[in-house]
A and B are shown apart, each in its own frame.
Chain A
Amino acid sequence: MRRLGFAVTIIVLAAASLAAWSFAAPAGKPAATHAVTAVKLPKLPALPADVKSRHRWVIGVKCDFPPFGFIDVRGHNDGYDVQIARRFTQLAFGRDNRLSLVCVTTPSRIPTLQSSRVDMIISTLTWTQARADVIDFSTPYYSATGRLLVPNNSSIAARRDLHGKTVVTTRGSIYATYLKNCIKDANVLEVDGTAAAVLAVKNGQADTFMFDDAFVLGVATQDPTLKLTSDKFLNIPWGIGIRKGDSKTAAWVNIALRRMQLKNEFVGILKANTPAKYVGAFVDNVPGPKTRFAYPVGKDPASDCSGI
């Protein structure tokens, strides 16, 4: 009797673990989600040969740009971009740890990609024609606008107040180009990282920080001495950077993004990386089954000086 009970327990445990394992089964073939009704997901093409042989993605991400790419308190990379990278890894290899993340900054990300140090860059990369001439962009995965971060007692309310003022931004960003083209008498201070820029505003060495809304909104809400003006500009989508001519990676990435979009995964990633009170402000910035973004091809928003 005891032996029978023992055998039944073993069988039940084995069945339970088999069931659990099948529920946790890695994707790689179109996995059925409960939420979406019978959506036809495109099939992922073959991985590029070197990625396949390496059995690992090497992806460049930001490490100083919460909530998209940053290092959390335990020293691990996290953020919207990083979670997209992990999702790609899961889609490619069935596990999300076959991934090497390389920290890049705004000025270093494209040279890092071009020198093949990474397979792709998911690093808050806004589309510009100049960048599209040297690298390929995936389909958009986020859309940001530019905003001005100012101290609470600042007299700056919009871009027209920037004449003669010191504006800090990161080196090589679209905002640096925009200022040089459109607000020529502003004193532009270019630094290499976002932390240095925020510090410059706090210390009074710059009158304002012109940057993406996603980053500065987080700063303004954490820091009671800083605020955002309501002036919004340069609304351009972000894409994943791929080496020019690397069509296999481009094809794979675009299909992977399409799958994530159809399964509405971007909203989930946004919610996982944004405090609840900001989610509403940004949920329209992520692609979904019905929302798609397009790059302003043929136009150069950074030289479009209207609206100042």
Chain B
Amino acid sequence: MSTLLATFDWTIIRENLPDLARGLERTMQIWVIGIGGSTVIGVALGAARANRIPVISQLAAVYVEVIRNTPILVQIFFVFYGLPSVGYNLTPFTTAWLAVTIWGGAFNTENFRAGFEAVPFRFREAGLALGFTPLATFFQVTLPIGGRIALPSTINTYISVLKNTALLTAIGYPELTSVARSIAAVTFRDFEMITVLAVVYLTIVWTFSILIRMLEARLALPKEA
């Protein structure tokens, strides 16, 4: 261990900083799109499932089961290599955000469904009694409360979406992990590159968790009297 630390080559990191930064930028792009897309899918399909809307509810259930029960790497390969054979040719960038969004959307569907179902019925009843339409009840009552209940599990999903972007190496999309591995392949300094990856991902996730905890504190539902 001490020899590993003694021979740690900082110059390799310094020399390749622009490439690594560019890779990190792409990782963040995919992650942000993934968060946005999976939230929209999660809220929409979660609401459909919680309210037992016919047809959509069943289709959503199939979607969730397929995505949750297959490895994400297989899903990435399917989107990148499988779709072209039925005519859809996607660039690596499109495959990247599409694959992580589909994956995150499935998990978020279940998260939000649980959140919406956990909203006490009396609140929704009160909304309807006050003359809100069902849709208005959803947006004014169920979503704010259910969303907050679902927040911890959706955060887990968003963190997993970030970690899953590392798997896009498999299709050659030059996000951070792919760039680091390419540098390691040419310079033979695997240890330095892996350390960089570990530190960067850890920092991002930790910062994100801290921010979310602050957000959770602000959004906490008042304790019922």
Contact = CB atoms under 8 A, between A and B. Distances in A.
Interface of A: 106-107, 110-111, 114, 130, 134, 168, 171-172, 176-177, 189-192, 196, 199-200, 203-205
Contact of B170 (A114, A176, A192): A192
Nearest to A134: B188
B53 to A, nearest CB: 37
A176 B186 CA distance: 9
The main secondary structure of chain B at its interface with chain A is: helix
A258 B171 CA distance: 41
7 contacts: A107-B185, A111-B188, A134-B188, A172-B185, A190-B172, A192-B169, A203-B89
A71 B92 CA distance: 29
Q: Is the interface of A mostly helix, strand, loop or mixed?
A: mixed
B180 to A, nearest CB: 11
Interface of B: 80-81, 84, 89-92, 169-172, 174, 178, 181-182, 184-188, 190
B186 A130 contact: yes
B81 to A, nearest CB: 6
Contact of B84 (A110, A111, A172, A203): A203
A180 to B, nearest CB: 9
A19 to B, nearest CB: 53
Contacts, number: 49
A172 B183 CA distance: 8
The 8 closest A-B pairs by CB, nearest first: A172-B185, A107-B185, A203-B84, A191-B172, A189-B172, A171-B185, A134-B188, A204-B89
A215 B170 CA distance: 21
B168 to A, nearest CB: 11
A296 to B, nearest CB: 18
Contacts of A200: 172
A196 B190 contact: no
Given A172-B186, A190-B174, A203-B84, 14 more contacts: A110-B188, A114-B188, A130-B188, A134-B188, A168-B172, A172-B182, A176-B185, A177-B186, A189-B172, A191-B172, A192-B169, A192-B170, A203-B81, A203-B89
Contact of B172 (A114, A196, A203): A196
A114 to B, nearest CB: 8
A190 B91 contact: no
Nearest to B169: A192
A165 B178 CA distance: 20
B185 A204 contact: no
A192 B173 CA distance: 11
Contacts of A177: 186
Contact of B181 (A107, A199, A204): A107
A23 to B, nearest CB: 47
A71 B91 CA distance: 31
B182 A171 contact: yes
Contacts of B92: 189, 205
B178 A190 contact: yes
Contacts of B182: 171-172, 176, 190
Contact of A205 (B91, B169, B181): B91
Contact of A171 (B90, B171, B181): B181
A130 B187 contact: yes
Nearest to A108: B185
A199 B190 contact: no
Nearest to A206: B172
A176 B183 CA distance: 10
A166 to B, nearest CB: 9
Nearest to B178: A190
Contacts of B90: 205
A130 B187 CA distance: 7
Contacts of A134: 188
Contacts of A130: 186-188
Contacts of B186: 130, 172, 176-177
A134 B184 CA distance: 13
B81 A199 contact: yes
Contacts of B187: 130
A106 B185 contact: yes
Contacts of B172: 168, 189-191, 196, 200
A204 B87 CA distance: 11
B152 to A, nearest CB: 36
B220 to A, nearest CB: 46
